[in-house]
Amino acid sequence: MTEPPPPPPLPAPSPVDFLVRPAVWNTDAAGLMSVRTTVFVDEQNVPMELERDGLDPACRHVLAFALTANGTADETSPIGVGRVTASGHIGRVAVLADWRGRGVGTALIRCLIEQADASVVDLNSQTHAIPFYQRLGFVVTGDEFEEAGIPHRRMMLKKRVGHIG
């Protein structure tokens, strides 16, 4: 009698294997810029002079890191970033390509909403990313326009008290 075939491998687990934390420009600029340069400048061909707009020191930032096997954040190599201005404008949201579709972007936006002082937050979404922001409760409020050669639309979200996204 022939042996039964071995069972198929278990599907890869999809735990939350990353961590998002608030970041400070003075100490985290290198990590923030490494992800932004990879995604916006290298991948999306945004000119560096447009990417560096001078607003960063006055913004609140967030960073995402992979968790290592012992459960600590690998602070040497950030995987996602974002920022929010004092007036509640969210921007520079980026996740490294290998990490997309695993909840990092959602966690970044939730952390930015928490970080924002303003009761209403807004952003200019790249048109392709509108469904991503709509899932988080943002609504489109304007017509399409170009920024850095990429089509965008303005979106906004009114924060609830104790907003968790």
Q: Does 125 bind ligand COA (CB under 6 A)?
A: yes
State yes or no: residue 63 binds ligand COA (CB under 6 A).
no
Residue 59 CB, shortest distance to ligand COA, in Å, is 15
Helix, coil or strand: residue 16: coil
Stretch that binds ligand COA, among 17-25, 92-100, 111-119, 139-147 (CB under 6 A): 92-100
Query: Rule CB under 6 A: is residue 103 a binding residue for ligand COA?
Result: yes
Sign of the alpha-carbon torsion through 44, 103, 62, 58: positive
Sign of the C-alpha dihedral computed for residues 157, 113, 62 and 16 taken in this order: negative
Between 1 and 164, CB nearer to ligand COA: 164
Strands 60-67 and 73-84: antiparallel
Q: How many residues bind ligand COA (CB under 6 A)?
A: 18
**Using the rule CB under 6 A, is 131 a contact of ligand COA?**
yes
Residues, the chain, total?
165
Count how many Cα atoms sit within 13 Å of the Cα of residue 92 in the half-sphere of its side chain.
27
Nearer to ligand COA, 60 or 94 (CB): 94
**Contact with ligand COA (CB under 6 A): which of 66, 84, 95, 157?**
95
Residues 28, 59: contact at Cβ < 8 Å?
no
Nearer to ligand COA, 10 or 128 (CB): 128
Report how far residue 54's alpha carbon sits from residue 94's, in angstroms, rounded to the nearest whole number.
18
Binding site for ligand COA (CB under 6 A): 39, 93-95, 100-106, 125-126, 128-129, 131-132, 135
